[in-house]
Amino acid sequence: MSIAPKDTDWVSLARKSLKGECLTAEEGIAVLDADNDEVLPLLHAAYLVRRHFYGNKVKLNMIINAKSGLCPEDCGYCSQSIRSSASIPKYSLLDKETLLAGAQEAMARQAGTYCIVASGKGPTNHELEQVIDAVKKIRATLPLKICACLGILKEGQAERLAEAGVHRYNHNLNTSRDNYPSITTTHTYDQRVETVEKARTSGMSPCSGVIIGMGESQRDIVGMAFALRELDTDSIPVNFLNAIPGTPMEGASRTTSMRALKVLALFRLICPSKEIRVAGGREISLRSLQPLALYAANSIFVGDYLTTAGQDITNDHQMIEDLGFEIELNALQGGGDNYELDGK
């Protein structure tokens, strides 16, 4: 039986989450179906869970687009895809010096995690060597957590990245298993799951997330959260589709601010201890409500994304300060502390 959103006790869902019990599909759908006047109580419940694991700390991540365009995959959301006619920079993998300079910029922005992202189905052995060379240099000089996002990994590649000092590997599921064929046909959902599992078995921290706004149903969104809970990913970037002109999804409806907040609350309640990151599209979907997102999420990207601009770094720092939250300066110190619920 479906739970009517107006009858749902959101704090009871927070308590259930903190006990390690998973929400039911009906409870998850109730979160997404909540009336807009329930968003603040819902965010309060999500915040109780967020505070328990992370207090008021915010993790900052910065992306460098290490290889742009030139991708043979047909992902409908992506401006770098072979199906896209978007006007974007196109270049092969950046050299070691440029990747190191990006890491130094991440430090200047107080980001604890530096994300090296390259377009393509997966890295060639030569590209892998280039990334490994850069990672070793960065690790020798800067106290940064390094995340790599290079596509689908072949046998042995995850182990080599881990050995070089890559802490985290990102490979997003993007959407639900059922919705996946409508988004991409040149690789499968299962291939993405396999790469996340390879990252884990190699010793790297698995990172995988979603893109909201690609025609998925409410049940699809809840299913995405369940899938990531089952995969036990340490970090979950929640993206909101930026419908870039020239991509097959050009003209898709924007995810509204209130819906985006409900989605973030859902992911916090279903994946309580995980790093929930407000990722691409936050400026487009959340607009002036961006600060509220941090009552559910505990991480954001700072600076630009892959082919789209992000919010000015001074605005991000100011937002965190105005909330009374604190930037986690050294991500190498690990995950969140446990903070008590204090009876609320």
Q: Binding site, residues?
A: 71, 75, 78, 115, 147, 207, 277
302, 113 in Cβ contact below 8 A? no
Q: What is d(CA 179, CA 183) in angstroms, rounded to the nearest whole number?
A: 7
Which residues are part of the catalytic machinery? Answer: 71, 75, 78, 115, 147, 207, 277
**Parallel, antiparallel or unpaired: strands 205-207 and 57-67:** unpaired
Q: Which residues are annotated as a binding site for [4Fe-4S] cluster?
A: 71, 75, 78
d(CA 334, CA 330) in angstroms, rounded, equals: 8
Strands annotated E in the chain? 57-67, 113-118, 145-149, 168-170, 205-207, 210-212, 235-240, 275-278, 299-301, 326-327
How crowded is the C-beta side of 178, counted as CA atoms within 13 Å? 10
Annotated binding site for [2Fe-2S] cluster, which residues?
Answer: 115, 147, 207, 277
162: left (phi over 0), alpha (psi -120 to 50) or beta: alpha
